[in-house]
Amino acid sequence: MADQFTPKPEHKFSFGLWTVGNRGRDPFGDVVRPALPPVDAVALVAEAGAWGVNLHDNDLVPIDATSSERDRIVKDFKSACDRHHIVVPMATVNLFYDPVFRDGAFTSNDARVRAYAVQKTLRAMDLGAELGAKIFVLWGGREGTETDACRRADEAVKRLREAVNYLCQYSIDRNYGFRLALEAKPNEPRGDIYMATTGAYLGFIPTLDRPEMVGVNPEVAHEQMAGLNFVHAVAQAWEAGKLFHIDLNDQVPGRYDQDFRFGSANPKSAFWLVKFLEDVGYDGARHFDAHAYRTEDYDGVREFARGCMRTYLILKERAKRWNADMEIQGLLEVPSSGSSGSGSLPARDALLAQNFDRAAMAAKGLAYERLDQLTMEVLLGVR
Amino acid sequence: MADQFTPKPEHKFSFGLWTVGNRGRDPFGDVVRPALPPVDAVALVAEAGAWGVNLHDNDLVPIDATSSERDRIVKDFKSACDRHHIVVPMATVNLFYDPVFRDGAFTSNDARVRAYAVQKTLRAMDLGAELGAKIFVLWGGREGTETDACRRADEAVKRLREAVNYLCQYSIDRNYGFRLALEAKPNEPRGDIYMATTGAYLGFIPTLDRPEMVGVNPEVAHEQMAGLNFVHAVAQAWEAGKLFHIDLNDQVPGRYDQDFRFGSANPKSAFWLVKFLEDVGYDGARHFDAHAYRTEDYDGVREFARGCMRTYLILKERAKRWNADMEIQGLLEVPSSGSSGSGSLPARDALLAQNFDRAAMAAKGLAYERLDQLTMEVLLGVR
Amino acid sequence: MADQFTPKPEHKFSFGLWTVGNRGRDPFGDVVRPALPPVDAVALVAEAGAWGVNLHDNDLVPIDATSSERDRIVKDFKSACDRHHIVVPMATVNLFYDPVFRDGAFTSNDARVRAYAVQKTLRAMDLGAELGAKIFVLWGGREGTETDACRRADEAVKRLREAVNYLCQYSIDRNYGFRLALEAKPNEPRGDIYMATTGAYLGFIPTLDRPEMVGVNPEVAHEQMAGLNFVHAVAQAWEAGKLFHIDLNDQVPGRYDQDFRFGSANPKSAFWLVKFLEDVGYDGARHFDAHAYRTEDYDGVREFARGCMRTYLILKERAKRWNADMEIQGLLEVPSSGSSGSGSLPARDALLAQNFDRAAMAAKGLAYERLDQLTMEVLLGVR
Amino acid sequence: MADQFTPKPEHKFSFGLWTVGNRGRDPFGDVVRPALPPVDAVALVAEAGAWGVNLHDNDLVPIDATSSERDRIVKDFKSACDRHHIVVPMATVNLFYDPVFRDGAFTSNDARVRAYAVQKTLRAMDLGAELGAKIFVLWGGREGTETDACRRADEAVKRLREAVNYLCQYSIDRNYGFRLALEAKPNEPRGDIYMATTGAYLGFIPTLDRPEMVGVNPEVAHEQMAGLNFVHAVAQAWEAGKLFHIDLNDQVPGRYDQDFRFGSANPKSAFWLVKFLEDVGYDGARHFDAHAYRTEDYDGVREFARGCMRTYLILKERAKRWNADMEIQGLLEVPSSGSSGSGSLPARDALLAQNFDRAAMAAKGLAYERLDQLTMEVLLGVR
C-alpha cells in the first residue's frame, strides 16, 4: 500500500543497530525483548523501507571478540547489508557501556583509560572504514561528572582536544576520509556531561588541529532535554558548515532521555526541523536515534521504524505546502524595507547621521499570530 | 565591623546600575520601590563596598535625551563616580526595552530597525568609552522568536555577524580599545532566544572578522535556566581565552529569570564557580547581575548588595581551605598513572600494540563520594 | 467565510478581559499596545466569535475608583455585554498587582494585609455576582516565597484555609451561588508559589469547611511549566468531580509563563486535552487565558483570539475522527481479558490461590507504537 | 572518631536494601559492583551507623523463589537484622522490574496483570508484617503512559483506587496494622506517571474507603525532578496529617532521576527540609532512597551512606543555631500586627467597613534579603 509517504532510498533514512535492537531495559526494569542479531536488524530496517544502518563497534562486534570472530561477524554483516541493499553511512564507538569508562574515556583521570579509549576508537574507525562509512560520530556519554571535585573542567577540554586531534590524524594516515561529527548532551548518564550543547562543540571545533574535518551531530532529544530550540542549534551548525550528521527522535523537555519516535512528542517543532533541513538542502543521512516503547514486541519495533520515516515524509509534504501558500508568503514580505537582507548596513558616517522614527517603526503589527495560526492549519491538514 | 569577608577594591566587585536600581516590577506586579537616580545608585554600591558600576546606555541617559541633557547627566555621573571612588569597567546597550525592538534589534526583519540598533550601539560605545569602560557587553534579549515562521534561523546568525563585525570596526576606528563580550540566554523575554548558550557564542566568535576582539559574558542564571552546569561553560570559555566578563547571580533551573542574590539558590554550585575563578586566576570584574527581592525597600537593596559580595568572599575562603585540605588533595592523586596529564597519549603504533586489562582498570573505586562529602563539610564549615 | 471550525455560542468559548487587553509589557520591555477599554474588549471577542468574557475586579474597576465611578463603569460594561450577546461566566480577584501584596495576600505575615485581601475578594464577589458569574476563580499568584525563612509553609496552608472558608461562607450568606475554583501555579511571579500543582489543591479542598463548593481551575501553562502531563491532572480533577473551570493556553515546559495561543506550542498534547474534555462531556466554559505575541497590534490580537478557538475546533473534529477510526478502536480492545474494567478484582482467597504465568502475560506486544502513529496521522490530517 | 555528627539509633536513619545494594547499572552502562547479599547490606548499613533497613519484596526474595527458599531467606535476614540491631520499619513491593508490568500494574489494561499485581502486593505485605514493618510504601513506577492513546487517565485513577482499597482491607483483615504511604513521581521510567506529585496523592487519598490508613511518602528527587519546592509539598502533607514516611536524597531539577547523596546537589534546600522536619517534630524514619555514584566500590558505598546521615546531622545542628539566632528571630517578628497568626480575620460586617491604607502597608521593606543572607551564613558556618 505504497503512498506518497512511503520511504525510498533517496530519502536517506538510516537507523542505528542499537535503535531497532533496543531491548527495553531501563533504570527500573529488565529487558522485554529478546536479542536481535545484527543481520536480523538489517532485515528489519530494510523491510521497513530504510536506506542505511549505523553502528557502534560493539553493536556488531563484542568487546572481547577475537580477531577471527570479528572478521567472521563483519563478513556476515556485510553480506546481509548487500542482500538487503542497505548501506552503512556512519560508524561510531561505544565509550560508555563498559565499567572501565565509568568516569570518562578521553577525559578520564587515568592515563591508561584515556589511551585505551583512543585505541578502541581507532579500531572502531577501522571497522567503520571497512563498512564504507564516511561519517564517524563521537558521543562522549561518560565524559562528565557527578561532583566537580574530581577534575578541573578546563583540563577535561584539553584532554578531549588531544584525543580528537589524534583521531583526525589517524583518519588522514589511514586515508579513511572520515568526517568526525561530535554529539553533545547535557546530562545522563553522568550528572553533567562536558560539552553540554551543540553550541559548545561548535566552540570547541575551531580550537582543533584540523577543524575542517570535524563537525557536529545534533540530536533532537539531547538539545530538548535542556529545553533548547533544536532548530536554532541546527541552523547555527548549518550556517557554519558543520552539520555533518543529525540524530532524529523526540523528547519532552526537562526529562530523562526519552528517544521517542520522531515527531511523536511535539509535531510542531518537528515540522520546523524538517522544513529547515529540506529548505536548505541538507543532503546527509536522516538518522533516527530512537527506540520503540517498552510495551512493544518486534512487530511494534517495525511500526516504530515505519512511523519515524512516515512522519518525516508527512512533515516534508507539509513544508512544501507551507512554502507554496500565497497568504503565508505574503505575510513574510517586509514592506518597509527594500533592503531587508544582510549586508545592508549603511556606512558609518551615514548611519550616525540618520534619524529614526522609533514610534513609526514600532506602530505596525507583524501579523505573526496569523502566520503561526496558518502554520498550525497547514500542519494539521485543514489548509 | 569589618571582617575577613569585607569587600575591598582589589576584589573587583561591580554592580549594574539596573541591579540596585531595579524597582521590582514583574509580569504580574507594579513597581514597589521609587526610582533610584544613577548618582544615588553609585553612592549605594560604594557604601556597600563595591569597586565598580556598569550600565546600559539608558540606565543613565534617557532614550530621548537631547545632546545637552546627555552631557550634563554624564558629567554629574562621572563626578559621583569620582567622589565615591567607583570605576566603570563595563558598558552595554539596551536593545530590548523600546517597542521598536519587539522582534529583535540586529536580527530584525526590518532593515531600518537593524540600522537603528547599530546606531544606538555605536552611541552606547561612545558613552562607555567616555566613562572609561574597556569591556562592552552585548545581550541580544530580543533576538529570537515565538514562532519560527518569522525568519530562517541561519539568516539571523548572518545578521548578527554583520552587526558585531560593524561594532568591532567602530571600536578600532575610534581607538576605543573595547573587548566585546557576548551574553547568551535561552529564552525570556522571547519564546526562544538565538545563541541560547555560552557555547553557541563560542562557536559564533570564530566566524567573525575580528575574533580576537570578541569573547563571552556568561551569566549564572542564564545557563542554569536551561539546567546546564555553569562551571563547565565558564571553563570552556576560559580555556579558549574568551572569558572576558562574568555575570554573577543565582537561579533555580527550569524557571523564569530569577536574578537572585549570588549563591542564594545553590551555594554548592556557587562554590565550584568561585573556586574555578580563583584557581585559574581570572582577573576581570566580579559583576553581579542580580536584584533584590520585591519585598525589599532600599535598606533591603543594600543588604542584597552586601550579601552578594560577602557570600563570594566566604566561598573564596572555603575554596582556599579545600585546596589546603590534605585528605582532599590525597584523594585527587591518581596513583595508577605517572602520566595523568594531557599530552600523554602513546604514539600510534605503540598504542595499537598495547594490551589493556579492562577489569583491572575498573576494579578500584574512585572515592568520589568521600571527596564530595569532604567538600560538603568544608563548605558547611565543619572541617 | 464560516466553515466547520467557526466558533458558536454553544462551544462556550470565553476570554479574560486581561487576555485580549494584554498590552505586551514584560520584564524587559515596555507596553507595545495602547490600553483597550473593557467595552472595546467585549466588542473584540464578540467579533471574533466568543461567548463570554471573564475578569478580575481591577480589569474593569480601578483599585481606587469611588463607588459612583464603579457603578457607572459596571453599568456601561453590562450594556456592552448585552449589546454584543456576551455573558460573564466567571469572575476573579486581583491579589497580585498592587505592592501591598508583594509578600502574599491570604498568606501574608501581616494580618492587615490578609484582612484587606479578603475584603477585596468579597467586593470582587459582589461584582462577579452582579455580572451573573457563577464561577469564582482564586489564583494566589503572590502566595509564596523567595526564601523559606519568612514563614513556615504549613502556617501558609492554615491561613489559606481560613480565607477560603471565609469566602465560601460569604457566598452562602449573600446567596451568590458561587462555586470557587482554585488555580495552581508552581512559580512566577514568586520564586515558589504554595499549592504548586492542581493536585495540591485537590488535596487541600477536602480540608475545607465546605469542600463541595470548591473545585479547581487547572491551567495548561501552569502545569506544563513544571513539565507535568496536563491531561493527567485534568483527569484526576474530573474524576473527583472538581473540574469547575479550565484555563486553556500553551507553554513550552521549564520556562517562564508564556501564555501562548492555545495549541501553538504543542498541538499533540492539546489534542489529548480537547479529546478528554469532549469525551467526558465537560460542559463548563472553554476559557482562554493567553495573550497575543508582543509583535502584534490589535489586528494581531483578534487573529490570536480566533486562532485559539479555531484550533480547539479543529482538534475536536480530530478527536471525533479518532473515536470513529476502526483500526484505532480495534487496537484498544484488550483481548486477554473479559473483565478489563475496574471493580474486577477477585475475592481475596481466590486471588491468593491464583497462579499467574508472568511470561505469557508479558509476551505479546501492545501495539502502542502503531496506536500512537495512527493518532499522529489523524492529527496531521492524512488519515 | 565519634563527634556530634555521628548517627545514633534515635535519629531513625534507614536505608533501602536497594540503595546500598545498587550495582550501578544505568541506561547506558553495565553494572560496576558485584551483587551485595541482603545480609551483607544489613552489616554495611549497621556499620555506617543506621537504625533500619527497608526493602521491596524482591530485594530479599527472588520473584520466582519457592516457598521454602523464601522462608530460609527470610530467616537468615531476620537473624542478620537481630545480630546488627537493625529494624525493618518499612516494606514495599516491586511492581516495576518484571516485564509483566511494562504497561502498569494496578492500572494495566489487562485484568490479569492487575490481579497479579495485587496478589504480589498482598504477599509483600505478609513479608513486611513478618519483618515488623508498620509502614507499607506504594510507588507506582509503571503506572503511566508514553502515549495517552492507551487508556483514559480517569480510568487509571479508578483502577488505582480499587487496588488501594483492596490492600487496606487486607491489612485490616490480617491485623497487620499497616499505614500505607503513597509515593509520587512525575516521569521515568514511564514517559509520564499518573499521580505525578505528592499533591496529587493528597487529593486521591480522601476518595478512598479508608483514608485514615493512607498517607504519602514524598521523595526529594521526585518532587525536584519537576522543579517543585519540596518543603512546600512536605509541609502540606504534614499539615494534613499525612506525612507517613519520607525519602531523602538529592537531585538537580529537570533531569533524570539522580538519587544523589542527601544534601549533595543543593545543601540549602536540604537545610530547609531538615529544619522543617525537626521544627515540627516529625518522628518517623529518616529514610535515604539514594545510591552511590557509579565510580565507587563498596568502600565508596559506605562513605555514601555515612555522608547521607552526617549531612543530615550537620544541617540539624545548623537549624538549631538558626532558631537560636537573636537577629534572625528579631527579623521574623511582625511589628505591625498583634494578631499575625491564623484565626484572626475580622467578622464580615466589621471587615467590610474597614479602611485600609494600602500605601502605608506596602511602605516598609520586609528585610528578607538580610534574613536569607543570615541563613546563608548560619548554613556556611560563619555565624
Q: Would you state the pLDDT for residue B334?
A: 72
State how far the Cα of B273 lies from the Cα of B232, in Å rounded to an integer: 9
- pLDDT, mean of residues B100-110: 97
Per the CB < 8 A criterion, the answer to whether B167 and B114 are in contact is no
Chain D residue with CA closest to A258: the answer is: D191
CB-based contact A300 C369, cutoff 8 Å: yes
Per the CB < 8 A criterion, the answer to whether B290 and B259 are in contact is yes
Per the CB < 8 A criterion, the answer to whether D216 and D184 are in contact is yes
In the numeric block, which cell numbers belong to residue C288? 482562554
State how far the Cα of C345 lies from the Cα of D267, in Å rounded to an integer: 46
The residues facing C215 across adjacent strands are: C181
Backbone torsions φ then ψ of A373, nearest 5 degrees: -65, -40
Q: Would you state the pLDDT for residue D326?
A: 97
In the numeric block, which cell numbers belong to residue C200? 495540591
State how far the Cα of B301 lies from the Cα of B48, in Å rounded to an integer: 10
Taking the CA of residue A102 and the nearest CA in chain D, the distance in Å comes to 6
CB burial string D149-173: b at 16+ within 10 A, e below: bbbbbbbbbbbbbbbbbbbbebbee
Site from C293, C301, C380 to mutate, A interface, most A CB atoms within 10 angstroms: C380
For residue A19, how far is the Cα from the chain centroid? 13
In the numeric block, which cell numbers belong to residue B19? 541591579
> pTM score > 0.90 for this model?
yes
With residue D115 as reference, give the H or E element that holds it. Answer: helix D111-131
Contacts of A161 in chain B (CB under 8 A): 342
- pLDDT, mean of residues B201-209: 98
Chain A residue with CA closest to C4: the answer is: A382
pLDDT tens by residue, chain A, 383 residues? 679 999 999 999 999 999 999 999 999 999 999 999 999 999 999 999 999 999 999 999 999 999 999 999 999 999 999 999 999 999 999 999 999 999 999 999 999 999 999 999 999 999 999 999 999 999 999 999 999 999 999 999 999 999 999 999 999 999 999 999 999 999 999 999 999 999 999 999 999 999 999 999 999 999 999 999 999 999 999 999 999 999 999 999 999 999 999 999 999 999 999 999 999 999 999 999 999 999 999 999 999 999 999 999 999 999 999 999 999 999 998 755 544 455 689 999 999 999 999 999 999 999 999 999 999 999 999 99
Query: Nearest-CA neighbor of D307 among B369, B378, B379?
Result: B369
Label residue C336 by pLDDT band (50, 70, 90). low
Residue D313: helix, strand or coil by DSSP? helix
CB-based contact C155 D227, cutoff 8 Å: no
State how far the Cα of D19 lies from the Cα of B369, in Å rounded to an integer: 14
DSSP state for residue D187 in the 8-state scheme: S
Query: Nearest-CA neighbor of A104 among A142, A132, A76, A147?
Result: A142
Please identify among residues 4-23 of chain A the ones whose CB lies closer than 8 Å to any CB of chain C. 5
Backbone torsions φ then ψ of A33, nearest 5 degrees: -120, 145
- Which among D304, D315, D369 has the least Cβ separation from residue B261? D369
Label residue C343 by pLDDT band (50, 70, 90). low
User: Which single residue is written with the C-alpha cell 547555527?
Assistant: A236
Contacts of B299 in chain D (CB under 8 A): 365, 367
In the numeric block, which cell numbers belong to residue B293? 527581592
State how far the Cα of B231 lies from the Cα of B246, in Å rounded to an integer: 11
Q: Would you state the pLDDT for residue D2?
A: 75
CB-based contact D295 B253, cutoff 8 Å: no
Kindly report the average pLDDT of chain C as a whole number: 96
Q: Which segments within chain B are labelled E, that is strand?
A: 13-16, 52-56, 90-92, 135-139, 144-145, 179-183, 192-193, 214-216, 247-248, 286-288
Per the CB < 8 A criterion, the answer to whether C56 and C40 are in contact is no
* Amino acid identity at B215: G
CB-based contact D149 C192, cutoff 8 Å: no
| Cβ atoms < 10 Å from Cβ of D383 | 18
DSSP state for residue C101 in the 8-state scheme: G
In the numeric block, which cell numbers belong to residue D153? 487517565
Q: Would you state the pLDDT for residue B194?
A: 98
Per the CB < 8 A criterion, the answer to whether C379 and C268 are in contact is yes
Catalogue the active-site residues of D. Answer: 56, 59
- Which among B111, B202, B362 has the least Cβ separation from residue A337? B111
Assess whether A56 carries a catalytic annotation.
yes
What ipTM does the predicted assembly reach? 0.97
Quick one: A54 exposed, middle or buried, by C-beta within 10 A (0-12, 13-18, 19+)?
buried
- Which among C227, C293, C376 has the least Cβ separation from residue A254? C227
State how far the Cα of D13 lies from the Cα of D48, in Å rounded to an integer: 10
Site from C102, C107, C112, C355 to mutate, D interface, most D CB atoms within 10 angstroms: C112
* Amino acid identity at B383: R
State how far the Cα of B330 lies from the Cα of B333, in Å rounded to an integer: 6
Backbone torsions φ then ψ of C91, nearest 5 degrees: -130, 160
- pLDDT, mean of residues D196-224: 98
Per the CB < 8 A criterion, the answer to whether A258 and A223 are in contact is no
- Which among A28, A227, A293 has the least Cβ separation from residue D146? A293
Per the CB < 8 A criterion, the answer to whether D196 and D151 are in contact is no
Label residue D1 by pLDDT band (50, 70, 90). low
In the numeric block, which cell numbers belong to residue B89? 569597567
Please identify among residues 253-282 of chain D the ones whose CB lies closer than 8 Å to any CB of chain B. 253-255, 261, 263-268
Contacts of B290 in chain C (CB under 8 A): none
State how far the Cα of A323 lies from the Cα of A343, in Å rounded to an integer: 25
Site from A18, A23, A28 to mutate, D interface, most D CB atoms within 10 angstroms: A28
From residue C85, give the alpha-carbon distance in Å to each of A383, C51, C298. 31, 7, 21
Catalytic residue among A59, A103, A247, A257: A59
pLDDT at B338 over 50: no
Taking the CA of residue C329 and the nearest CA in chain A, the distance in Å comes to 17
CB-based contact C261 A5, cutoff 8 Å: no
Site from D28, D64, D228, D303 to mutate, A interface, most A CB atoms within 10 angstroms: D28
Q: Would you state the pLDDT for residue B41?
A: 98
pLDDT at C338 over 50: no
Taking the CA of residue A252 and the nearest CA in chain D, the distance in Å comes to 8
Q: Per residue in B308-330, pLDDT tens?
A: 999 999 999 999 999 999 999 99
Q: Would you state the pLDDT for residue C334?
A: 72
> Could you give the angle at the alpha carbon of A34 between the alpha carbons of A33 and A39, nearest 5°?
115
Q: Number of residue pairs across B and C with CB atoms under 8 Å?
A: 109
Chain A residue with CA closest to B348: the answer is: A170
- Which among C234, C332, C345 has the least Cβ separation from residue D118? C345
CB-based contact A276 B173, cutoff 8 Å: no
User: Which single residue is written with the C-alpha cell 542479531?
Assistant: A37
Assess whether B287 carries a catalytic annotation.
no
